[in-house]
Amino acid sequence: MTVNKKTGKKKNGRRKPRRRVRWWLLVPVAMVIAAIVYLATMPYRNDNEKLANLGYDKETIALIREKELLHLILDNGYYSDQLAQAIKDGTLRTDYIDLYTCLPKRSPEALDFLICRRLADEGYENDQIVNLFHSLEQKELIPLLVYDYQWDEISYINDVIDCRKSGHFDLSSDYRQMCKVTSKADEPDSLQVLVNRRNYLEAGYVPSDLKTISDEFAINGCQLRKEAADAAVRMIQAAQNNGIYFFVSDAYWDYDSLVELNDRLLTYMTEVEVDVSLAKPGFNEHQTGLALNFAPTFENEDNFRLTEAYKWLKEHSASYGFVERFPQYKEAITGRETEPAHFRYVGKNTAMAVKESGLTYDEFYNLYLKDWDNPELEPSQSILSDIEWYQITD
């Protein structure tokens, strides 16, 4: 027996036996825990493997999980280099994720999102839109906004691809004869009103601000809405100051006069021929008081496109608010024969935008100016703010 020097108490010299843990008994426990962890993380690893098989690297996989895109991507098998890059740089718009996978050579931009939604507003389903974007360019998609809904988008795609060989948008199918769905033109008093094969003015519509253009600048009795008439005079004067001379040869027609003209033409032309060359009453934009035709003063007018007057108008008319309404090689879009002498007043800002866009006015209006049939399809303001000409006003 020994005595504790600090406490003075006696203590027993015998030590208690120490319990020894049989380590080999822990192995099964560890294996069970490892198995549970393995099984619990198997879905995680499997999903990562699936993402890797689609083509995503570790960094992008981590971001996919962080942004909660896992199921959206795996359920649809989404992958493209553009999509992976958009995930990495944080620019992905999930509402348009299909566009990131169906554009073969580039990433989608704001204009693609607008075209996509405009097509949806025309009735095109998602799989059709994917097919269209996969095969066609923006400029080849926009004409679909002018036509009636095309239930067989594959035929349209093939037609467009075939016409690429000619260098012009000269479709073999006569889409301009397929405008069976018509509606009353929105806001007939607007300077931007669209009147064409799908949009008509009522028989009783007469502009309230018609002004007769001076005989110095027009054939006797030509009328236009005041703003258009004043702009036409300024433009003609500007051309004269540059040694170019032309005048207004045709302008406002009322509905009844268009009916009489249509009936006369039908005595020696078919209805289709009249429609393509003139447009039937109600669908003729001369009734707006914003459309006019020019004629050269000192040049042969047999081919207006070859005149100096036309060359000057082509370059300068937009600065005065006018657009060439039925350009050459755009017949498959406008549904009208090319008519180089026919111009339309839409306001300076709009005219400049149409010219810069390279679109016909039909396309420009339906893409940028038209109201939405389903307002819920309109892209977000953050997208629209990146589109220069959306809802431009004069």
Q: Residue 361 carries which DSSP code? A: H
Q: How high is the pLDDT of residue 20?
A: 60
CA distance 136 to 157: 7
Return the amino acid letter for 232.
Answer: A
User: Any long-range contacts for 46-50 (C-beta under 8 Å, 24+ apart)?
Assistant: 47/74, 50/74
Q: Tens digit of pLDDT for each residue in 288-307?
A: 999 999 999 988 878 899 99
Do 197 and 264 belong together in one domain? yes
Residue 237 inside a domain? The answer is yes
Please give the order of strands across the beta sheet that includes 246-250: 246-250, 291-296, 342-345, 322-324
The answer to whether the beta carbons of residues 180 and 149 sit under 8 Å apart is no
Do 197 and 296 belong together in one domain? yes
What's the rounded mean pLDDT across residues 28-34? Answer: 60
Do 138 and 194 belong together in one domain? no
pLDDT above 80 for 121: yes
Residue 11 inside a domain? The answer is no
Do 68 and 118 belong together in one domain? no
pLDDT above 90 for 45: no
Do 120 and 195 belong together in one domain? no
Do 59 and 115 belong together in one domain? no
pTM: 0.87
Q: How high is the pLDDT of residue 37?
A: 55
3-state secondary structure of 165: helix
Do 142 and 264 belong together in one domain? no
CATH number at residue 273: 3.30.1380.10
Query: Domain ends where: 113, 133, 166?
Result: 166
For the chain, the domain total comes to: 3
Sequential DSSP letters for 65-128: HHTT-HHHHHHHT---HHHHHHHHHT---GGGHHHHHH-SSS---HHHHHHHHHHHHTT--HHH
Q: Tens digit of pLDDT for each residue in 348-370?
A: 999 999 999 999 999 999 999 99
Q: Considering the chain, what percentage of its residues have pLDDT values greater than 90?
A: 72
CA 382 to chain centre: 16
Q: Beta strand 210-212 with 10-11: parallel, antiparallel or unpaired?
A: unpaired
User: Would you put residue 120 in left (φ > 0), alpha (ψ -120 to 50) or beta?
Assistant: alpha
Which structural domain, as residue segments, surrounds residue 58?
Answer: 29-91
CA distance 170 to 62: 48
Q: Of 74, 143, 137, nearest to 104 (Cα)?
A: 137
pLDDT above 80 for 17: no
Residue 223 inside a domain? The answer is yes
Residue 1 inside a domain? The answer is no
CA distance 364 to 375: 19
Q: pLDDT band for position 200 (50/70/90)?
A: very high
Q: How high is the pLDDT of residue 41?
A: 55
Do 72 and 201 belong together in one domain? no
pLDDT above 70 for 52: yes
pLDDT above 70 for 161: yes
Do 80 and 206 belong together in one domain? no
Do 230 and 121 belong together in one domain? no
Of the listed ranges 117-121, 175-179, 260-264, 274-278, the least confidently predicted one is 175-179
Residue 134 inside a domain? The answer is yes
The first and second tokens of residue 328, run together, are 């050459």
For the chain, the average pLDDT equals 89
Residue 12 inside a domain? The answer is no
Residue 337 inside a domain? The answer is yes
Query: Domain ends where: 41, 61, 91?
Result: 91
Do 236 and 281 belong together in one domain? yes
Residue 2 inside a domain? The answer is no
Of the listed ranges 102-106, 120-124, 319-323, 351-355, the least confidently predicted one is 102-106
Query: Domain ends where: 135, 166, 197?
Result: 166
Q: Residue 385 carries which DSSP code? A: T
Do 267 and 354 belong together in one domain? yes
Q: pLDDT band for position 280 (50/70/90)?
A: confident
Of the listed ranges 151-155, 164-168, 200-204, 368-372, the least confidently predicted one is 164-168
Q: How high is the pLDDT of residue 44?
A: 72
